[in-house]
A and B are shown apart, each in its own frame.
Chain A
Amino acid sequence: MASPLLELRNITKRFPGVLANDSVSLKLNKGEIVALLGENGAGKSTLMNVVYGLLSPDGGEVFVDGEPVELKSPRQAIDLGIGMVHQHFMLIEPLTVTENIVLGNEPTTAGVIDIRKARADVVEISERYGLAVDPDAKIIDLPVGAQQRVEILKALYRGARILILDEPTAVLTPQEVKELFGVVRQLVTEGLAVVLITHKLEEVMASSDRVVVMRDGKVVGETKPSDTDMSGLARMMVGREVVFRIEKKPTVCGDTVLNVRNLKVLDDRHLEAVKGMTFDICAGEIVAIAGVSGNGQTQLIEALTGLRKVEEGTISFLGNDITHSSARQTIDAGVSHVPEDRHRRGLVLEFDLAENMILGDHRKPPFTKRGIMDPQAIAQITEERVEEYDVRSPSIRIAAANLSGGNQQKLVLAREVGRNPELLVAAQPTRGLDVGAIEFVHSRILAERDSGKGVLLVSLELEEVQSLADRILVVFEGRIVKEFAAGQASDEELGYFMTGGGGTKLTENSDTEGGESNDA
């Protein structure tokens, strides 16, 4: 048999206090999709970063086409035909989509970029692979879903033979996921080999040829989708049974926690992104916003949490007007926020776990007394929450940047949910979490609800929406176009309204527009 396209032998990578890869071996053949599974912090991204030349291993060898190769920088990996979609987007915000995609491989004549050709190339591959992007938009103006598509197109543009996908679907809609795997299948039949890292087991079952499972830096097993099922995979990963569907008691709706009336909010380009939304959340209720990324969810959340100016309309929280409150005032009032982009909004990456854990509460006792921080109190609460949320790190004195993606997410959740808010605004709360962690976070969110708190959940994942929400609001183009009670709608129905099938007007409920604002 021909030698494998890519082979890793005994790769070892150590970070201070962690053995991230412990003598890992892996083979990847032409024409196959290998799923790399493992809990948060198992060492998947580390291993792939070694293959891509971003990290240099402490031991072990990499072979491409049977030849030993030394990967000192991504340039060498790229030249060997290795492409990678990174877990945390490697996009340059002030540059356009086209500039980001061609960067490093620019079509030029005598050093001058042929921008027209570049743009045409981008349009061409975006159409060929069914990943729609606006080639002239700046990254900073794009919703996360579109950024994900750009990141994937970047790898495809380079025409890799070995494609590494590190959680490429965390923020894609089911439709986009389907299209992406169609593309990947097609590439594989053309002779490519793909490593797919994902926490979504149905994707693994549907699209991989082989599954390699890692735990604590080691490969602990290998299987084929045909030989197992989702619970089997989960067991291999986590080492115990995982419950996929959680039991939910019927809700007891209490007083109104959040009251939003005819809210209008602009985006960064001064276009109206939220075009008059009206809804309530009561104590003990989870309200989910379902929609394709980029339909005003980001701006809605930012307005609710004091991060963006409200143009029109009112927001009241527990009877108090917070329409024009600052982020600090909203936090102090009891609103917690799990942002959709943990790197941009959720964490200060250079800060350690303890510092990140008290951000937002850092002025209050017991963390600060008379303006002076109390490191002991801070360390204590951090230890407690790290334990409870299973944030895996050798110490709480490590910079958040050094945590694995999923553990960074757990850190944000530990802070925002741990603060015990009256209202939890959570955007993609389980982005990048492993199945075990998702189970835990879902049960924590339900516990919040059962103890009489309000929850606003924004998620692209219909499964999450369906299993948690008491009420589902479907948004399209900045408006709420449909409202469902829990269990009322099928995924197909939701999808229909999410993509504008029901038009842009609220279909069922009477329009409350121009309604009374309680406390103007």
Chain B
Amino acid sequence: MLSDIITPDLFAAAVRIATPLALAAIGGTICERSGIVNIALEGMMLVGAFAGVVGALATGSAWFGVLCAILAGALLALIHAFASINLRTDQVVSGTAINILALGLTGFFMEVIYGHPGTTDSAPRLMPVFNISGPTEGVLGTIWTWINGVFLSFTPIVYIAIFIAIFGQWALFHTRWGLRLRALGEHPRAADTVGISVVRGRYSAVLMSGALGGLAGANLTLEQVGSFTEDMTNGRGFIALAANIFGRWTPGGSYLASLLFGFADALQIKLQLFRDVIKIPSQFFLMLPYVLTVVVLAGVVGRAVAPAAVGKPYEKG
């Protein structure tokens, strides 16, 4: 039984489910490191998911769809940046408004472009990167199924997300960009006094988070589902926010935290298949990812310290 549950595709599913969470979470990390709270990741993901499908359906190119998704996410982020940096609006209020706006916009354009609510037609999708056949028999066969399943079975954005996590982790602590980003979120005035533009730094961080949110959306529609359904992000943006905190405001940590959520979700789905064998109500399985969150948050992670100036608008004298 256990060997039916612990299979390569359980881990593969975990990585797949983790991908949009991780991308958005890393977006959240970058944004909050610059001192701006971004609870609009949900909306950016949704808009990205929709724009991705629109772009792909219109041109027949899934990659063009990805580009549209990134741009749409960034465009939405521009509103957030303007509201929180120039107008110094409360960032939670602005983020909430953007989430609502995203829901409305996608629904509206659904009607305008496709003439109906609900779900779009199937769009061209991004296919798995590798398609290697290996041994199927014996011990070698088992090993190959594991390697292929856990490492080689994914679509492009899944690998891109892993790359962004690793590269982002390194960049945050070793590049000029990273140092300045960290400075902005801790003490923007100090950054200002050494000649770093707070406005420019924060704008670019918010836009980056929008682009990553959009990319997360593209992963949902153009790699996982294949079409767009209204409100399909279903709270993932908020889980991503938790993953960012969980990962202590680092790209690598965000990815690993997302992976944990992804694994819990994958396990939950898997266990539901065995509901006749394991006599436990299915609601229990559905609970699993959330219980895991609470346990890990309370026990393993310890106290997480947010960037000191996060959420506070910067005002020059």
Q: Determine if B176 is an interface residue (Cβ-Cβ < 8 Å).
A: yes
A210 on the interface (CB 8 Å rule)?
no
Point out residues on B near A: beta carbons under 8 Å.
174-177, 179-180, 182-183, 186-187, 189-197, 305, 308, 316-317
A-chain residues with CB within 8 Å of residue B180 when the two chains form the complex: 103-104
Total CB contacts across the A-B interface at under 8 A? 78
**Could you tell me the distance in whole angstroms from the C-beta of B49 to the nearest C-beta in chain A?**
32
Q: Specify the chain B residue showing the minimal Cβ separation from A118.
A: B179
Pairwise interchain contact A103-B174, C-beta atoms closer than 8 A: no
Minimal Cβ-Cβ distance residue in A for B187:
A92
For A79, the chain B residues whose CB sits under 8 A away are 195
Q: Tell me whether A103 and B317 are in contact in the complex, defined as CB-CB below 8 angstroms, given that A111-B176, A113-B174 are known contacts.
A: no
Contact status B316-A54, CB under 8 Å: yes
B189 to nearest A CB, angstroms?
A: 6
A75 to B201 CA separation, bound complex (whole angstroms): 14
B193: A residues at CB distance < 8 A = 52, 54, 74, 84, 86, 90
Q: Point out the residue from B174, B194, B196, B308 that lies within 8 Å of A93, measured CB to CB.
A: B308
Are B192's CB and A103's CB within 8 A? Answer: no
Given A93-B308, A99-B179, A103-B183: 19 more A-B contacts, CB < 8 Å: A74-B192, A74-B193, A75-B196, A90-B190, A92-B183, A92-B187, A92-B190, A93-B186, A93-B187, A103-B191, A104-B180, A104-B191, A105-B194, A105-B195, A106-B179, A108-B175, A111-B177, A115-B174, A154-B194
Interface centre among A78, A86, A104, A106 (most CB of B within 10 A): A104
- Nearest to A86 among chain B residues (CB) is B193
Interchain CB contact under 8 A, B176 and A108: yes
On whether the beta carbons of A78 and B195 are closer than 8 Å, the reply is: yes
CB contacts (< 8 Å) of B196 on chain A: these are: 75, 103-104
Contacts of A52 in B (CB 8 A): 193
- In the complex, what residues of A have CB within 8 A of residue B186's CB? 92-95
Bitwise interface map of A from 93 to 119 toward B, beta carbon under 8 Å scored 1, else 0 = 111000100011110100111010000
A interface vs B, CB < 8 Å?
A: 49, 52, 54-55, 73-75, 78-79, 84, 86, 90-95, 99, 103-106, 108, 111-113, 115, 154
Known pairs A74-B194, A78-B195, A154-B194; A49 contacts B317 (CB<8 A): yes
Closest residue of chain A to B192, judged by CB?
A74
Contacts of B177 in A (CB 8 A): 111
Query: How far apart sit A115 and B170, CA to CA, in the bound complex (Å)?
Result: 13
Q: Which residues of A are found within 8 Å of B308, using beta-carbon distances? A: 93-94
Q: Is there an interface contact between B317 and A104, defined as CB atoms closer than 8 Å?
A: no
Bound Cα distance A103, B305 (Å): 22
| Cβ contact within 8 Å between A111 and B175 | yes
Closest chain B residue to A105, Cβ basis: B194
Is A113 a contact of B192 with CB atoms below 8 Å?
no
Q: What is the minimal beta-carbon distance from B310 to any residue of chain A, in angstroms?
A: 13
Cα A252 to Cα B197 with chains together (Å): 59
Give the residues in chain A near B197, CB-CB below 8 Å.
73, 75
Smallest CB separation, B123 vs chain A (Å): 36
A154 — which chain B residues lie within 8 A by C-beta? Answer: 194
19 of the cross-chain contacts (CB-CB < 8 Å) are: A55-B317, A74-B194, A74-B195, A75-B195, A78-B195, A84-B193, A86-B193, A90-B194, A92-B187, A92-B191, A93-B308, A94-B182, A99-B179, A103-B180, A103-B196, A106-B176, A108-B176, A111-B177, A113-B179
A385 to B267, CA, bound (A): 65
The 6 closest A-B pairs by CB, nearest first: A104-B194, A75-B195, A90-B190, A55-B317, A78-B195, A90-B193
